[in-house]
Amino acid sequence: MPAYRPLLLTGGPAVGKTVTGRGLAQSTERCAYIDVDDVRQLVKSGGAAPWEGEEGRAQHVLGVRNAAALAANFSADGFNVTMSDVIDAELLRLYRELVPDIMVIRLSISHAMARARAQTRRVYLTDQEFETLHRQQLPPLETDVDIEVSALALDAQIDAVRAAWLRV
């Protein structure tokens, strides 16, 4: 069975990180998917969102550390790993430190398309939170691959990410 580098998908809200990560995991032999939002939401009392000041940032870092530990455990047992998280340059450095062989792919779409996609799903973010997360993705990140997905249907998006994941 082929073993692939652990994969982190990042990008702004509504870019398709979760559906792409899940789709890859479901169609890749022996593969786990870690949604880092779900890892952070394990905190049931005193939880803070990443944009909620110092405590939110500390919990986002904790989520990265916990996701990295899960990825290491899955990898050690022979599973391929896909993950998704909205990150900045500091969190990217932390992922690279904790998951040394990680491949990071950033998915991007226009702000207007992100808004349109976000309106088709249940509301998780306020307008202000959406804008904050979208702006966070504007500065360049030292990712391995950037993929513009505006013109891609979901299957094509998954195929484009898989091709990049397997190529590098």
pLDDT tens string 123-151: 676 666 666 766 776 667 899 999 999 88
Give the pLDDT band of residue 118 (cuts 50, 70, 90). low
Give the pLDDT band of residue 27 (cuts 50, 70, 90). very high
What does the DSSP 8-state code read for residue 99? Answer: S
Give the pLDDT band of residue 81 (cuts 50, 70, 90). very high
Q: What confidence score (pLDDT) does residue 145 get?
A: 94
Whole-angstrom distance, CA of residue 12 vs CA of residue 72: 25
Residue with tokens 């299957």: 155
Residue with tokens 């898989």: 162
Q: In terms of CATH architecture, what is 7-167? A: 3-Layer(aba) Sandwich (3.40)
Highest mean pLDDT among 47-61, 76-90, 130-144: 76-90
Give the pLDDT band of residue 121 (cuts 50, 70, 90). low
Mean pLDDT for the stretch of residues 89-95: 95
Mean pLDDT for the stretch of residues 62-78: 96
Whole-angstrom distance, CA of residue 107 vs CA of residue 10: 6
Within 8 A by CB and 6+ apart from 81, the residues are: 6, 7, 31, 32, 33, 34, 71, 74, 75
- The ranges assigned to domains in the chain are 7-167
Q: What confidence score (pLDDT) does residue 110 get?
A: 78
What does the DSSP 8-state code read for residue 50? Answer: T
